[in-house]
Amino acid sequence: MCGIVGYIGNEQAAPVLLDGLARLEYRGYDSAGVAVYDGKEIEVVKSKGKLAVLSDMIHGGKDIKGTVGIGHTRWATHGAPSDTNAHPHLSQSGRFAVVHNGIIENYLELKQRLMSKGIEFLSETDTEVIAHMVEYYYKGDIFDTMVKVLNRVEGSYALGVISVDNPDEIVAVRKDSPLIVGTSENGNFIASDVPAILNKTRDVYYLEEKEIVFLRRDGVEIYNFDREPVKKDLTHIDWDADAAEKGGYEHFMIKEIMEQPKAIANTVESRIKNGRIVLDNITLTAEQIKSFDKIYIIACGSAYHAGMVGKYVLEQLTRKPVEIDLASEFRYRSPIVTDKTLVIAVSQSGETADTLAAMNEAKRLGARTLSIVNVVGSAIAKQSDDVIYTLAGPEIAVATTKAYSCQLAVFYLLALYIAQETKIIDCDKLNDMINELLLIPEKVQSILDKKEDIQYFASRHFADKDIFFIGRNLDYAVCLEGSLKLKEISYIHSEAYAAGELKHGTISLIEDGTLVVAVATIDRLFEKTMSNVVEVITRGATVLGVTKETKTIMADTCNFIFYVPESIDIFMPSLSVIPLQLFGYYVASMKGCDIDKKRNLAKSVTVE
């Protein structure tokens, strides 16, 4: 929800920090700031608004001299966006500067205690208490100081600290919020995510829970809270650097929509060997799978919608009961979980706070856990019993597209894998399904090749005030995602409904000119969905139909049709979601919305 960058090395720090923050602005964009030690004092410059405002203030960083510094781009939690509430925050004397991602849950208690000692606060943030506490406890040993501070702090945090007293190092720590360390010949880095430093180094360490790192110009030292050195393997990032750039597209979102054929192919093809599903290094055995009496899927946002598809697919192919639960609700409802329960946690970032907490609660109750994430070394990946990575590459736009599509692909693979290992499906049928799955990227590309048709339809409806999505079964699951895509980037009120529920109240909202998007790709439910289409048209709705190429009869009823290629029903969500993503994108573009940086939202939700 916020982005952190730190640098110490041979180059001027401010331009490096600004460049890194620009690559993290998807994590927060309501204010930004940098703190650089100039040889005498820590100079802090920060401002409300997007990073460009800060960059202009300091002329791309040229105005601030010094080779050690920290920077931050913010998504506000405590305190409204303002120059004062922006990070970094200074201690009262100005000797220490701090940047923070996360939430300090007991900050009011800590703040009151510090104020009783005569310390004055300038901001409304929870982070400022950290800066003052560091100074209050500092007695010459920064390690001892950090441990004292962190033992008194409750909540989640990734922190970066620089000080006048220790001018040749950056101290950083991670608990429940992501933080990586990058190393290079020209200096060392901390960052919230890999794209921030990808143009400077490809060699990184992923920090674990409650680890403290000391960065100096010539090296990096990592410790636990007991002052014991921690040995880590260096991870080399092999992403194409262009993957984190727009590459000529107007927005990251449309670039990532267009990257979906490749991303799905990468996710699927590497897991199919000699006609069999091979899921990385997961340790689930056929006997364990057979022993499960229930599967839970826990996720938030678009990952939850992918999980909804996963529920239908897993139940159909494994014949085991599957529940899908919002991670933010799961652990507060006394879930019935035992050692015969498989819990699947889905998160693009692998750091989603609610999903991580829900997964750990399931583990406490005895469940076996498996995660589906995109980020290697993320907290959810490390803390689950097994992990399957979505090989989507970096996703920068706040509105997910290719990560969602890769999550669907992993659910298909997992369901087929379970069916394969338990022999619940005969070999010929399994082979047919695997072969059809391999065709999905090509079929997605054929839909993208017709994107101008959706663009034209969007040009006629970008001024609409209310839009409804309807479908049944898997189509309903896709409608949930299509509606979310539209509302989160265009700010148009949009809702998705199971088509059969219309007559139970929702149809009262349909009036002349109301746009209804009807997804009807499931053969056995096509006629039932068409009955619902007729119902809304009778009440004046305009209908966009999304269906298979063979269902040309739908054109006789709907105002506009977009056809997608034929496939097996369980794979249709991967195809039908593409026109809905495009529709949301083009509507938002025509409205002039800032598509990659959504209002009030950030990419990674690392607090509850």
Asked if 8 and 169 touch (Cβ cutoff 8 Å), the reply is yes
Q: Are 471 and 479 in contact (CB under 8 A)?
A: yes
**What is the rounded distance in angstroms from the CA atom of residue 492 to the CA atom of residue 322?**
33
Which tokens sit at 217?
Answer: 């110009």
Say how far apart CA 363 and CA 373 lie, in whole Å: 18
Q: Quick check: 74 and 30 in contact, CB under 8 A?
A: yes
Neighbours of 222 (CB within 10 A): 18
Classified as helix, coil or strand, 62 is coil
- CA separation, residue 456 to residues 459, 577, 580 (Å): 5, 18, 13
Is cis: bond before 167, omega within 30 of 0?
no
The count of C-alpha atoms lying within 13 angstroms of the C-alpha of 396, restricted to the half-sphere facing its C-beta, is: 25
Query: How large is the C-alpha radius of gyration of the chain?
Result: 25
Calculate the CA 297 to chain-centre distance.
17
Whose structure tokens read 């148009």?
Answer: 492
Catalytic positions, please? 2, 603
Cα 504 to Cα 180, 247, 412, 510, distances in angstroms: 50, 47, 33, 13
The tokens for 191 are 């960052």
